[in-house]
Structures are given as C-alpha cells and as structure tokens.
Amino acid sequence: MSMMEMASPSDATGSTSVPGDLVLVTRPPAFGLPTACPACLPAFLYLRMAAVSFQEQVTAVEPDSEDLPSVEYGENVGFASENGGVVEFLRREKIVDLDAGLSDSEKAELETCKAMMESWVADASAYELWMRDNDRQCKAVYFAQLPWGLVQALDWKQRVAVMQRLGVTPENAAVRSEELYRKAGNAYSALSVLLGDQKFFFNNRPTSLDALVLGHLLFHMKVPFEISTLKGEISKHQNLVNYAESWSKQLLGEDGAPIDAAFQPKVPPPPPPPARAAPAKEKEKPAKKPRSEKDILFKKRAKYFVIAQFVAVLMYVVFAGFEVEGDDEVGDDDE
C-alpha cells in the first residue's frame, strides 16, 4: 500500500531524481488520518509542511516496534529510535530542515517545548490511548491488520508495558491519571500562550514543533475515544483547536479542498550512490582474490583447527579404541 506523492507536472526544480527516493514507513491509516499512530503522524506532517515529495510504505505487523516511523533515503535509513529520529535524519542527509532559520532564543524555546511534549503530553496521551476503556480504538490504531489470536496477546503485552512505564497500577490509577492529565493541561496552556494568534509557533514559518503539536492535537481530536479527557483539555484553548483544524485542511486536503499551494510537495534531491565495492571485486575466484591480512589469519587458524581435530581423532583411536564399521575381516596370518 504505497501512495505516490507526485509533484505537479510543472515542477521547476530540474532535478533528475526518480520520485520515490524518499520513503516514509508508518503504521496504517485509520479514522481519517493518513496514519493513525501517534508517533508516526508528526513525521508525516513534518514532511508535508516541508513540502517534500515522499512515498508512503505501510507496515501493519510491527505494533511494538520502537523504530517506527522510519525514513528511507536511497540506501540510508533513519529510525525513530536513534539519534534524534526522523527530523535529525532529514537534517543530516540535507533533505530538509525546518528549524534552520531560528534564532538562539527561539531554538531554546523550541527545545523546551519539545521536551514538554515528549514527556508530559506524550505520557498522558499514552495513558489515554492504552486505557482499558479505550481498548477498541487502541486496537484499531495498532492491531487492525493482525490475525485474531495475535491481537489479544500483543494488546495485553503492550498495555502491561505501557502502564508499567507510566507507573500506573490498579491501586493508584485514579491518582496517577489525575497527575498525568494535570501536567498535560499545563502543557496545553503553555503552548496556547506561546502560539497566541500566530499561524505557527515561530516566525510564521513551520518548525518541527508545529509538526509535533499538530500531530498530537489531530490525533486526539479525530480518534473517537470512549473516554477522551485530553480532548476536553484541548478544547479549553480555542486557538489550539482552530490551529489544528485549519492546518489539517491545508496539509491533509480534507473536505475536498486541495492541499495549499505552499505545501505542494517537491521532489527531494537524489540520494548519494550507495557505498559499495565495484561488482568486479565480488567475483569470487579464490586464486585471484588479493590476500588480505584477515584471509591469511583465517587460513592459518583453519589449518591449526584441522590439525587439532586430526590429533584428537588419532588420540581417541589410540586410547579409547572403537568398533570397526563394516564387516570384520579376519586377519589371517600368512602361512
């Protein structure tokens, strides 16, 4: 299931790359969102905001993987679980960097808000998603395409892991949840103040914080949880609601409205050629292969190994004695 995001035909970048060099691997879509997974949605929105053309690759069988979302660029891959995730990978590969033009103080604010999102808000979001009452929606997000027995087993396993990580037990659930929601509420207030009336958080340009906040807001506004405390908290801040709704229309092209012209995807630069040895070298004629140190060592070790085995066999034969395989030939003495 991969969707091609083609640039408009009058793309004037003049690049010679093949569209689809950039592939975003996410979990499956649901509830009207291009990807229903709360970790993958910000990455998707980031690429949309950056107006970069990419292919979507859906993987429905890795609900517990920490490596998703991941981005493939030629032979290189950036996983969510390493080195700053997808955003850092895109910056390192020089594909796109939305945070490039920020001043130092803005960067400081950006990092603070991101830390707040990734701790308080993320914890509250995980708690709400993995609550037993919201079981049905959780299964639709993570396990929609897994066979029946696995759904139950993985759902239980992941729920236990999440609740353990959050420190929630049946006894302290009420207290702990209240604490999580309170912190999330504080975070929303702070973001609302920071956003104010602007289109974006910083400089009227989208940044990674916008992708992160938008991803979270859209997730909780669109997924119909049974118990959606966070949605209630979000709706207390009208500017956040407006922000989310207007950008969802522009970036995701809902209600039939086309994607805003400013965000029409453009094809990324071609990836570097993979660093591989020339094919000629792969022709394995042992006699012609240059003798590297490693090979010599290997052969030496192999020789000793064989000699040692032979000695072991001989010792066994001499000291332990063994039965002859096959018919016994009665050794007649020559007479």
Partner 1 sequence: MDPSESGRDGEDEDKLREVIDALEEEVEVEDRSDGGEVEGEGEGEGEGEGEGEGEGEGEDEESSMNLIKSMTEKLATEPVKVRVHDIEIKGNVKTKDSVFEAQLKELREVTTMQELLQESVRANSRLRALGIFDKCVITLDAGPEELPGTANVIVEVEEVKRPFSGDLGVFSKPETKAWTVEGTVKYKNLVGFAETLDATGCYGLDSTSELSAGVIYPRFKGLPASLATRLTLLTQDWQRFSSYRERLAGVSVGLVGDDQHDISYNLTWRDLKDPSRSASKSVRRQLGHSLLSAVKYTYKRDERDSVFRPRRGIAFISTTQIAGLGPDSRLLRFARQEVELRLAIPLGFANAAVNLGVAGGVILPWGPGYKTKPTPISDRFFMGGHSSLLGELKGPSSLLGFRTRGVGPNELRRPTVAQTDKGDGEVDAAPKRDTLGGDLAVSGFADFSFDLPLRFLKDYGIHAHSFICAGNLIPLTGENTSQWSLRNFLSNFRVSSGAGIVIPTKLFRLEVCLPPSYQIHIFFCYFPLSACLNDLQMCNIYPLLDFLF
Q: Could you list the residues that contact partner 1 (CB under 8 A)? A: 25, 59-65, 67, 72, 75-77, 79, 81-82, 145-150, 153-154, 274-279, 281-284, 286, 289-295, 299, 302-303, 305-306, 309-310, 313, 316-317, 322-326, 329, 331
Residues 36 and 140: beta-carbon distance below 8 Å: yes
The gap from C-alpha 313 to its chain's centroid, in whole angstroms, comes to 53
Give start and end residues of each alpha helix (H) in the chain.
40-49, 85-92, 104-116, 122-129, 135-142, 148-166, 173-195, 208-222, 229-235, 238-252, 293-319
Indicate the residue among 66 and 133 with the shorter CB distance to partner 1. Answer: 66
Give the up-direction half-sphere exposure of residue 175: CA atoms within 13 A in the CB hemisphere: 5
CB of 76 to partner 1, least distance (A): 7
* Nearest distance in Å: CB 285, partner 1: 9
CB of 205 to partner 1, least distance (A): 30
Nearer to partner 1, 257 or 306 (CB): 306
Nearer to partner 1, 148 or 335 (CB): 148
Among residues 82 and 118, whose Cβ is nearest to partner 1? 82
Ordered DSSP codes for 41-108: HHHHHHHHHTTB--EEEE--S-TT-SS-SEEEETTEEEETTSTTHHHHHHHHTTS--TTTT--HHHHH
| Least distance CB 240 / partner 1 (angstroms) | 35
Nearer to partner 1 among residue 199 and residue 281 (C-beta): 281
Q: In whole angstroms, how close is the CB of 236 to partner 1 at the nearest point? A: 39
